[in-house]
Structure 1
Amino acid sequence: MTTLRFDTIEDTASHESMFPIIVASTIGSAIEWLDFFYYSFLAVTVFPAVFFPGLNPYAGVIAAFTTNFVGFVARPLGSIFFGRFGDRVGRKPTLATTLLLIGIATMLIGVLPGYATLGLLAPLLLALLRFLQGVGVGGEWGGSVLLTMEFGNPARRGFLTSWPQAGALVGLGLSVTSLLLFKNLYPGEAFQSIGWRMPFLLSTMLLLVGLYIRLRIPETTAFLHLQQQRQSHKVMGQTWRRYWREILLSALVRSGEQAPFYIFTTFMLSYGVEILHWEASLLYRGLILAALLACITIPIYGALSDRIGRRRLTMYGTLLMGACAIPYFLLFNTGNPVLIVLAIALSLGGCHACLYGPQAALIAERFPTRFRYTGATLGYQLASIIAGGPAPIIATYLLSRAQPHNPTYPVWVLIAIYLMIMALSSLLAACYLKDYTGQDAVEDLM
């Protein structure tokens, strides 16, 4: 076992001073992901009718998912822009900027007229605003994680960086809760016309809360030390030239987490409601329970990675994800409400959390301070193009091509195999990643 050295341990924050930093990172992450996830759920339930009328159900959902995918394409672009900004200007102003960008884009989606009013311009503007959302999310993750990583005790790096990850699941739970709330407040056609817009508009208040919290936190000590050196460098070019292998492996190691996550959340709503005819409210309640469970298990897995190693835990998680793909569908397809909720809760709170908990530290600690925001964020967000974004589209396409009522070859088997392939790609990538658990994070040798 590698001896703990941690040359910069004297610069780490105390337990008391870490609390507001963790809160700021987690709440900010929750607010930004709330907006991003809420859009994803509406891509299944509302947007096909509001922005893509006239298409058959499958084509409408695929069109909505494709617009949703624009946000995933934008995330690596946001990581490039805001990564460079964060490595040159600082973590704190970057986090405030990304939160403001997502908040404005989200508010504008809430007032955007539908196809009946603007025609083809409506889905085009929707795609543009989703793109801006994605740019903001692409830059937000790195800052939230680096706040906890660069302030915190390196010996607890996995646990501390797992809290912004848990914030994403808080955002998931809040987005589903708001969807249920406003469906009840605006029943039937009222939700299609005005009800779905309310959470987008009300998110402005959460934006102000998030900005207030983030503007009160200090800049990280690691970045301040770097800033004192006044080194001028071309961040993006040098990051890619020096760390292209780590960036690509970071993206691949996320495949087994990203693709299943968006299958377990956005796609399964469409599959459960449109194909199996389950009550949407049942699936929403399952997602709320899953988010609550994941908020507990993600920090637990993060802390576990500090003890047994992040690489090892990630490999265990990929095996668990692959092994659970078929049982998940078997439980989900039963029609038993308890088993359906159990499948949803365990898929996110068990399998997904095992990969998601140690992931932030696993990726961020392999880049030095002056390239960390760019390198870690780019590696993290590239997975949105190769796994997260395409996953619901691929699954919906497989579903649309299936022979109906064919008990010998159910389509969900193909989707389960797809999940296994994604898990296998993460397992192979993890085999080539060096484990920095119990060691200093990578720093320049110059």
Structure 2
Amino acid sequence: MAQVQGAQAEIRQTQVRRAAIASTIGTAIEWYDYFLYGTAAALVFPKLFFPNSDPFIGQLQSFATMFLGFVARPVGAAIFGHYGDRLGRKATLIITLLLMGLSSAAMGILPTYAAIGVWAPVILIVLRILQGIGVGGEWGGSVLMSMEWGHHQRRGLMGSWPQLGVPLGLLFSSLFTSIFIAISGSAFNTWGWRIPFLLSLVMVLIGLFIRLRVMETPHFQEVVQRQKVVKVPVIEAIKSHPKEIILSALVRMAEQAPFYLFITFILSYGSTYMHYNKGFLTNATTVAAVLSLFTVPFAGYLSDRIGRRKMYAIGTVLVLLYAYPYFWMVNTGIAALAFIAIVISLIPHDFLYGPQAALIAENFPSHLRYSGASLGYQLASVIAGGPAPLIATWLMHKYGSSSAISAYIVFNAVVTLIALAFLKGRSEEEIVREYRSAESHLQA
């Protein structure tokens, strides 16, 4: 009997490790594709796909196509949330990985406006929408794959591992962009930008190999065996948990809007208004991403110790306090100060992002968790992440000062603090009982 229990424990630990690795690496690949688009939208797409516009309009058009990917993310959350709660986390995650990778690779061979005219931006928009749908379904499954295999006392830490996909994706997209800016030089706008997109195919093969080796989570196995699968989980989640879905979106505003200003808008702002070198800016975001590899799981770990809500409130206040110093440092024109400003900008964000997965997922029961958590998480893309670079570009054009952008960051932080006060979540006892039930069911 003891040998059987020991073997079961060893198998479980193996699956916990595999789930954490598969979720992290798979998410990193998908976010690599997503961030690569943001970098290209700031640096090359305005000239290649919208060449007939003046620089300001071209930049707006480029960021608008980026925004469409954010609009598509709740659609992806609804589609893959439905299948994730009906068919399982594993199968859904394989489909989202393929969708993202193939869409990005297609961008790498897409002819520009000079070659095929208006069809170039049209096809680019379609591919961006497919990216958005893929990443919209990715987050919920990857987070649940890691959390639902983990121990209930480490929900924050286990939920933070897939969140590492963001800094890893940012790291590789910024790193490869910097490398090919250096290699291709003046030819970057011709062919250099395409190579990082084509590398998506290699990454997809690696991600598929890892994800195929992970078993379905014990929570979903229990849902199936107890016949608790809902016919239309997305509709049921909206009907039974509307408050949690809306508040999950609002609570992300202090994290998501500033994030896309710190890693995407800064590329166009820094090169256009402050005349910093493009490679310098992408190098700074690369170093910021490396730092996040430590601060994201650390924040998730801390949230298991001091509480999810307290950790999240600390991160929100830090974002609020950093809004004005960030642009002040960048605006000095001193490269060293600008570099430091960009590098440390993700620390307040990471204090939010580390515990965020667990904070949101804990609001929903197992049979509706993929749908409910995904919808709440991805709705923030429409109201915060997606419009942020567009709003910042417009504010800068209208007021000619970054102070308006800092005020916009403060506004997002205030909204998050209010939403956090109302997002009470399920009781700790209920969550622990659910975890123990799934563990017992798996052992049986």
Q: TM-score, normalised by structure 1?
A: 0.93
RMSD across aligned positions (CA): 1.7
- Contact kept, 8 Å, 2:168 with 2:290, in 1: the verdict is yes
Opposite residue 266 of structure 2, the aligned amino acid is M
Aligned residue in 2 for 1:19: 17
Stretch deviating more after TM superposition (64-73 or 428-437): 428-437
Opposite residue 148 of structure 1, the aligned amino acid is S
Aligned residue in 2 for 1:3: none
- Contact kept, 8 Å, 2:254 with 2:415, in 1: the verdict is yes
- Contact kept, 8 Å, 2:260 with 2:389, in 1: the verdict is yes
- Contact kept, 8 Å, 1:309 with 1:437, in 2: the verdict is no
Instruction: Measure the CA separation in 2 of the matches of 1:182 and 1:163.
Output: 29
Q: Which has the higher helix share?
A: 2
Alignment counterpart, residue 415 of structure 2, candidates 411, 419, 425: 425
Instruction: Measure the CA separation in 2 of the matches of 1:356 and 1:381.
Output: 14
Cα deviations across residues 335-366 of structure 1 (Å, max 9, x unaligned)? Answer: 22221121111111x11001101000000011
Q: Secondary structure at the match of 1:367?
A: coil
Change (3 A) 1:285 1:148: same
- Contact kept, 8 Å, 1:306 with 1:437, in 2: the verdict is no
Opposite residue 384 of structure 2, the aligned amino acid is A
- 2:435 pairs with 1:441: no
Change (3 A) 1:13 1:261: farther
Aligned residue in 2 for 1:275: 273
- How do 1:194-233 and structure 2 match up within 5 A? 194-231=191-228, 232-233=230-231
Change (3 A) 1:12 1:235: farther
What's the offset of the Cα at 1:229? 2.4
Alignment counterpart, residue 180 of structure 2, candidates 170, 174, 182: 182
Instruction: Measure the CA separation in 2 of the matches of 1:438 and 1:365.
Output: 9
Instruction: Measure the CA separation in 2 of the matches of 1:131 and 1:355.
Output: 27
Name the % identity.
Answer: 48
Instruction: Measure the CA separation in 2 of the matches of 1:14 and 1:327.
Output: 47
Aligned residue in 1 for 2:317: 319
Q: Secondary structure at the match of 1:358?
A: helix
What's the offset of the Cα at 1:161? 0.7
Aligned residue in 1 for 2:110: 112
- Contact kept, 8 Å, 1:13 with 1:151, in 2: the verdict is no
Cα deviations across residues 117-167 of structure 1 (Å, max 9, x unaligned)? Answer: 111111011000000000000000011100111110010000111011112
Change (3 A) 1:75 1:66: same
Q: Secondary structure at the match of 2:326?
A: helix
Cα deviations across residues 281-317 of structure 1 (Å, max 9, x unaligned)? Answer: 2211111111011110010000000011111111111
Aligned residue in 2 for 1:258: 256
Cα deviations across residues 370-420 of structure 1 (Å, max 9, x unaligned)? Answer: 1000000000000000000000000001111235xxxxxxx1110000000
Stretch deviating more after TM superposition (176-185 or 248-257): 176-185
Aligned residue in 1 for 2:355: 358
Structure 2 unaligned spans of 5+: 1-7, 436-444
- How do 1:87-126 and structure 2 match up within 5 A? 87-126=85-124
Q: TM-score, normalised by structure 2?
A: 0.93
Stretch deviating more after TM superposition (47-56 or 281-290): 281-290
Instruction: Measure the CA separation in 2 of the matches of 1:11 and 1:382.
Output: 38
Opposite residue 381 of structure 2, the aligned amino acid is S
Aligned residue in 2 for 1:170: 168
Instruction: Measure the CA separation in 1 of the matches of 2:9 and 2:362.
Output: 17
What's the offset of the Cα at 1:13? 7.5
Opposite residue 154 of structure 2, the aligned amino acid is R
Aligned residue in 2 for 1:302: 300
- Contact kept, 8 Å, 2:93 with 2:141, in 1: the verdict is yes
Structure 1 unaligned spans of 5+: 1-9, 404-410
Q: Secondary structure at the match of 1:187?
A: helix
Change (3 A) 1:170 1:180: same
- Contact kept, 8 Å, 1:263 with 1:395, in 2: the verdict is yes
Give the total of aligned pairs.
426
- Contact kept, 8 Å, 1:33 with 1:168, in 2: the verdict is yes
Aligned residue in 2 for 1:413: 403
Change (3 A) 1:388 1:262: same
Aligned residue in 1 for 2:368: 371
Instruction: Measure the CA separation in 1 of the matches of 2:48 and 2:240.
Output: 46
Opposite residue 172 of structure 2, the aligned amino acid is L
- 2:150 pairs with 1:152: yes
- Contact kept, 8 Å, 1:310 with 1:435, in 2: the verdict is no
Instruction: Measure the CA separation in 2 of the matches of 1:419 and 1:362.
Output: 22
Aligned residue in 2 for 1:408: none
Aligned residue in 2 for 1:328: 326
- 2:127 pairs with 1:129: yes
Instruction: Measure the CA separation in 1 of the matches of 2:326 and 2:398.
Output: 21
Q: Secondary structure at the match of 1:186?
A: helix
- Contact kept, 8 Å, 1:306 with 1:438, in 2: the verdict is no
Opposite residue 207 of structure 1, the aligned amino acid is V
- Contact kept, 8 Å, 2:29 with 2:169, in 1: the verdict is yes
Opposite residue 358 of structure 1, the aligned amino acid is P
Stretch deviating more after TM superposition (102-111 or 257-266): 102-111
Opposite residue 424 of structure 1, the aligned amino acid is V
